Chains A and B, each alone.
Chain A
Amino acid sequence: MSTFDQILTLVKRSCTHSDCTIDENATPKAIRIDKRDLIPVMQDLLTDPIAYFDMLSCISGVDNGPDAGTMEVVYNLYSIPFDHHLMIKVTIPRDNGEVESVCSIWRTANWHEREIFDLFGINFLNHPDLRRILLPSDWQGHPLRKDYKHQDYYRNVKVEY
């Protein structure tokens, strides 16, 4: 049994709400899980001796656009001792999207999640310090959404250059 299958079994075991699916079109291999299972799955991926994903390389937000009506949060995990890669994907609705924060598992998540909150408007529950990080806090809108229109004036300064 390959390592990915072992990890998949592990993820399946922690998924209680709905079954996880494999996303073949991704490098490294990706598993799509239900957002309610995120915390138990991530906790297992960090602590289980066969997985031991001790490094969270990257968290990316993806907006699928107003037609699809969904957004995704993609977690890239890496295990330093075993040299494994894994991608975990969570799909959330586009309006008032919410997902649990993984700050309690990896501290890296803190700023990554703040950035996604800033640029996509995804709300991370139980995040210790959820504020805008790159944009000024009185900026309107979330620029990386596909239907974003910038404001005309920011403090009497024309935004369009």
Chain B
Amino acid sequence: MPTEGVQYRFKEGDLLKSAPNKFNVADLRAEEMIINLGPQHPSTHGVLRLEVLLDGEIVKEVMPHIGYLHRCFEKHAENLPYNQVIPFVDRLDYVASMNNEHAYAMGVERMLGIEHQIPKRVEYVRVLVAELNRIASHFIAIGTYGMDIGAFTPFFWLMRDREHILRLLEWASGARLLYNYIWIGGLFYDIPVGFEERCREFVQYITPKLQELETVLIENKIFVDRTANVGVLPLDLAINCGVTGPMLRGSGLRFDLRKVDGYSVYKELDFDVPIGEGRMGTVGDCWDRTYVRVLEIYESIKIVNQCLDKLTGELKRNRDFDPQALVPKKIRPRAQDFYVRAEIPKGELGFFFRSDGKSDVAFRCKCRSCSFVNLSVLPEIAKGILLADLIAIIGSIDVVMGEVDR
């Protein structure tokens, strides 16, 4: 039937056909009800739909429904050469694009076997921008989390400070959020003249602001009451569910791929891996997860400082340095299966590649996204809690739907 200018004709039952409920009204017991949360709801951080089975105010079961933001990343990656996939990789976790690019570029470089030839300056610039982006991503996580449970001021403060990072990255790459800056074998450009000084100014500016943030949000009585002892994720369950990143560390395991794998130049840098200790409640509750993120910002600042020291010291910019010198003209890895992983702000981002050795297009590129796996733990920890706590738990997982749905 031609559309005649009408995009879509609604029919009764269409929604139930395409996104059926997991729970059935006929099976409800007395006092039970089904509440639909999202997909268009500010506290679900994007287009996440939750189907909640409630008994009064107590959540009996939750079922996340995802896929509203599916953009066929893996299909695209099977149809485009390796270097042209990078803009799509940006759009996975769109608040931390540099980290995604870093992981992807690293994977392809290892497949080509050129990972040891990458100049040190390129690696340090990559780590510098990735850590700046990590700070920006944690700002979003903490800011929106505060807003979810009623604290509005920290959100504005953090958005203001995040803007400084975005300006810096825009200056380096030309784009505010989706950079296409880290290329396979190098960088798009060297960082602009004066970038290091501006970065130092930013670090000086941000450190006292973080203290402010801790006083006004993290140690705030209301915030602690809303998050401590809520959504406790025990460590054994976390590992069995494949949870990674600040969520796993919040549950008390000192596990950070930057330390464990020591990829790029992370093994030359000095930083700590903060874990949740249950200071306000139980180990692995929402407060611990948030506090781990705050502590990670301090660690990222440490890394940024060390990178800046290197980039202005022994790896100083010089006229002959060409960040694109090693960028291969044709990217054709030998036939192999390859799994690469890296730590992005939300956890372990992994790429599984299969190349057939005959073309410069991946035969298969699977993205193991951390938000997807972290979100799958929600039905496990959101049982027998209050509906208001469910919102607190979703926020503390810090999902980015672009990465969940790919």
Q: How many A-B residue pairs have CB under 8 A?
A: 112
A156 CB contact (under 8 Å) in B8, B242, B380, B405: B8
**A residues 104-137 with Cβ under 8 Å of B?**
106-108, 110-112, 119, 129, 132-137
Bound CA span A55–B20, Å = 31
Counting contact residues on chain A (CB < 8 A from B), the size range is 35 or more
* Contact between chains at A137 and B339 (CB < 8 Å): no
Given known contacts A74-B337, A107-B240, A157-B3, A58 and B376 CB-to-CB distance under 8 angstroms = no
* Contact between chains at A138 and B405 (CB < 8 Å): no
* Contact between chains at B67 and A135 (CB < 8 Å): yes
| Chain A residues positioned under 8 Å from B368 (CB to CB) | 57-58, 60, 76
* Contact between chains at A108 and B240 (CB < 8 Å): yes
The answer to whether A96 has its CB under 8 Å from any CB of chain B is no
| Chain A residues positioned under 8 Å from B70 (CB to CB) | 134-135
Given known contacts A57-B348, A80-B255, A133-B66, A87 and B337 CB-to-CB distance under 8 angstroms = yes
Given known contacts A74-B352, A157-B8, A26 and B75 CB-to-CB distance under 8 angstroms = no
| Chain B residues positioned under 8 Å from A134 (CB to CB) | 66-67, 70, 405-406
| Chain A residues positioned under 8 Å from B380 (CB to CB) | 107
* Contact between chains at A108 and B338 (CB < 8 Å): no
* Contact between chains at A108 and B352 (CB < 8 Å): no
Bound CA span A137–B7, Å = 20
* Contact between chains at B239 and A54 (CB < 8 Å): yes
Of B11-19, B30-38, B156-164, B218-226, the one contacting chain A is: B11-19
| Chain B residues positioned under 8 Å from A135 (CB to CB) | 67, 70
Which residue of chain B lies nearest to A143 when distances are taken between CB atoms in the complex?
A: B75
| Chain B residues positioned under 8 Å from A74 (CB to CB) | 337, 352
Which residue of chain A lies nearest to B352 when distances are taken between CB atoms in the complex?
A: A60
The answer to whether A39 has its CB under 8 Å from any CB of chain B is no
- Give the top 3 A-B pairs by smallest Cβ distance, nearest first: A108-B242, A136-B18, A60-B366
**What are 25 A-B contacts defined by CB distance under 8 Å?**
A25-B336, A26-B336, A26-B338, A27-B110, A56-B242, A57-B242, A58-B352, A58-B368, A60-B366, A62-B363, A76-B350, A76-B352, A106-B242, A108-B373, A108-B376, A111-B376, A133-B66, A134-B66, A134-B70, A134-B406, A136-B17, A136-B19, A136-B67, A138-B17, A144-B74
Residue ranges of A at the interface with B (Cβ–Cβ < 8 Å): 23, 25-28, 30, 54-58, 60-63, 74, 76, 80, 83, 85, 87, 106-108, 110-112, 119, 129, 132-139, 143-144, 153, 155-158
